[in-house]
Structures are given as C-alpha cells and as structure tokens.
C-alpha cells in the first residue's frame, strides 16, 4: 500500500474505502469487512452518512488492530460551532466505539443551517478540532468541499492549518485552481466520487485505455488519480469489485494516456457551489 505523508508527519494510505451512500447495518458491516479482508487499511465515513456505528462494528469484527487502520469521519452540517462540534465529536467516537480518529474533517464549509454566520461557525469548529488534535483524540484535521475563499477565511483564526481537503475529483473534473492552491498551503487532496459516481465506467476514452492494459475502467480511473498524487476513496458493496479497486499499484499509465485523461471534459455533472446548496 502506497502512503502519503501529511504536513504533520502522519501517513495516510493512498487508497481508502469510501462509505458514502452505503446503508447502515448489515450492508455497511459486510462491505467494510470485505474491504478490510482485501487489504484496505483506510476507511472513510461521516456523521452525515449515518453508518458510523456499522463501520465501527465492522472494524471490531475484523480483529485487525486499531493502530493498523486509518479512520476518517466528518462533522455533521448541523453541528458547526465550538460547543456543537465538541458534542458531535464525542457522539462520533461513541458511535464508532474508538478512542481516537485518524482524520476529522469539517464536512461542508457553508451548510444551510449556519449560512448566516458560516465564518464564525467554522472558526468555532476549528478551535474545537485543534483542541482534539492537541489532546491526541485526532491524529490529523482537515476540511472537505472547501474552496479557496473558505480556507482563507478559516486561516484568519486557525493556529493549525488544515492538513487535508477532501473534494470531488475524477477524470474530467480536475478543479485545477483549487488543487494548486491547496498544495501551496501544504494540504493533501483526497478525491471523493473518483469514478464519477459510476459514470466513468461507461466512458469511451477510459474504456480504450482499460482495453490497452487489460484492466477495468475503474482501475484506470483510480490509477489516473493516484498518479496525480491524490488519495482516492472508491466505494462499492460488491466483494469482487472492492478487491479489484485495490489492485492499482502494480501498473502505470503512459504519458500519452495521462494526457488523454487530462483532456477529458466533465461528462457527469458540475461540482456544487458550496455556498448555494440546500443542505
């Protein structure tokens, strides 16, 4: 497993198992169990996914030592601000049944519940997260779906800079200006929806590259992001697919293939403006 080192020296496995849209209960437990048995050691969940408890149960059932698993969860949109964040974090720890989180993220920069005072709310949440970090309750802290303007506002009061920004990235959706900005800030980029919520599996350009390598469209899509230096978070509930998505470290794409994928247009949908969503 390849790893990327965060700005504080913590290592994060470059592929993680995403659990967005996986129902809580047996489906999440089985899927996370499949992933852990296949060799994943990075699991990504969130309070808003409503499956934290099932993720925790799968980790416990796996018998794998907690120290071997990199676990991410995220702050719920309705719980921004210092006091709400402290309570929300304790709720997540209890739900997952762990003593610490490897990476804790503010899930959304400007949710509807706090839109009238998002700057103040984010500052309060970040202050609480810095306290968790100093206490050893989280190993690293970051943000998700933050644009440059949100990060700059956060940095007006932050003591510790975000180590990660988890954003929507896939072939055709490069968010180049934001990626460059985050890298200048020393942040690692995590790619959620790396398969374009499944749409890239039918893309003709990716299919041609996949045929040349004798691999799946998913493997090509994930390898493209790996070679761009991102952490990738594919999701599946099928055991064979979960295992296949992990087999992306024993081949490389040619410079010509990378250029072809770089030139792809976004054929899925535009990324939401975080300031205009209704959640």
pLDDT for 51 equals 98
Residue pLDDT, tens place only, 10-41: 999 999 999 999 999 999 999 999 999 999 99
Distance CA 89, CA 276 (A): 26
pLDDT for 214 equals 97
Cite the active site residues: 49
206: helix, strand or coil: helix
> Is a pLDDT exceeding 90 seen at residue 1?
no
Q: What H or E segment, with its residue span, contains residue 231?
A: strand 231-232
pLDDT for 106 equals 98
Residue pLDDT, tens place only, 83-122: 999 999 999 999 999 999 999 999 999 999 999 999 999 9
| Average pLDDT, rounded, for the chain | 97
Distance CA 235, CA 191 (A): 12
Cα–chain-centroid distance for residue 160? 20
Q: What share of the chain is helix, strand, coil (3-state, %, to 5)?
A: 45, 15, 40
> What are the chain's domains?
11-198+229-247 (3.20.20.100)
Residue pLDDT, tens place only, 125-177: 999 999 999 999 999 999 999 999 999 999 999 999 999 999 999 999 999 99
Distance CA 106, CA 77 (A): 8
- Tokens linked to 261: 């994928």
Q: What pTM, to 2 d.p., does this model score?
A: 0.96
pLDDT for 267 equals 86
pLDDT for 91 equals 98
Q: Could you tell me where the DSSP H helices lie in the chain?
A: 26-38, 52-62, 82-96, 118-135, 148-154, 176-184, 204-213, 217-227, 239-246, 255-262
pLDDT for 76 equals 98
Distance CA 244, CA 185 (A): 33
Distance CA 45, CA 17 (A): 9
Residue pLDDT, tens place only, 192-235: 999 999 999 999 999 999 999 999 999 999 999 999 999 999 99
Please report which confidence band the pLDDT of residue 253 belongs to, taking 50, 70 and 90 as the band edges.
very high
The answer to whether residues 247 and 207 touch, using CB atoms and an 8 Å cutoff, is no
For range 55-59, the mean pLDDT = 98
Taking alpha carbons only, the member of 86, 105, 97, 99 closest to residue 48 is 105
Distance CA 184, CA 81 (A): 27
HSE at residue 114, side-chain half, CA atoms within 13 A, is 25
């Amino acid at each position: 497993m390849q790893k990327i080192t965060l700005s504080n020296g913590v290592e994060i496995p470059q592929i993680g198992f995403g659990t967005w849209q996986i129902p809580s209960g047996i489906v999440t437990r089985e899927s996370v169990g499949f992933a852990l048995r296949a060799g994943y050691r990075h699991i990504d969940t969130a309070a808003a996914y409503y499956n934290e408890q099932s993720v925790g149960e799968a980790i416990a059932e796996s018998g794998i030592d907690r120290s071997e698993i990199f676990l991410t969860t995220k702050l719920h949109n309705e719980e921004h601000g210092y006091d709400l964040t402290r309570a929300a974090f304790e709720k997540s720890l209890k739900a997952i049944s762990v003593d610490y989180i490897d990476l804790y993220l503010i899930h959304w920069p400007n949710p509807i519940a706090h839109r009238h005072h998002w700057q103040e709310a984010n500052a309060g949440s970040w202050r609480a997260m810095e306290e968790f970090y100093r206490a050893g309750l989280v190993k690293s802290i970051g943000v998700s779906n933050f644009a440059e303007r949100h990060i700059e506002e956060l940095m007006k009061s932050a003591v510790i800079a975000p180590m990660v920004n988890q954003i929507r990235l896939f072939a055709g959706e490069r968010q180049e200006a934001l990626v460059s900005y985050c890298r200048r800030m020393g942040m690692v980029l995590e790619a959620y929806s790396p398969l374009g919520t499944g749409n890239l599996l039918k893309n003709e350009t990716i299919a041609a590259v996949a045929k040349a390598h004798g691999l799946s469209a998913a493997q090509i899509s994930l390898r493209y992001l790996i070679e761009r230096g991102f952490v990738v978070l594919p999701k599946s509930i099928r055991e064979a697919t979960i295992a296949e998505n992990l087999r992306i470290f024993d081949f490389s794409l040619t410079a010509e293939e990378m250029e072809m994928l770089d030139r792809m247009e976004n054929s899925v949908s535009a990324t939401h403006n975080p300031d205009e969503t209704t959640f």
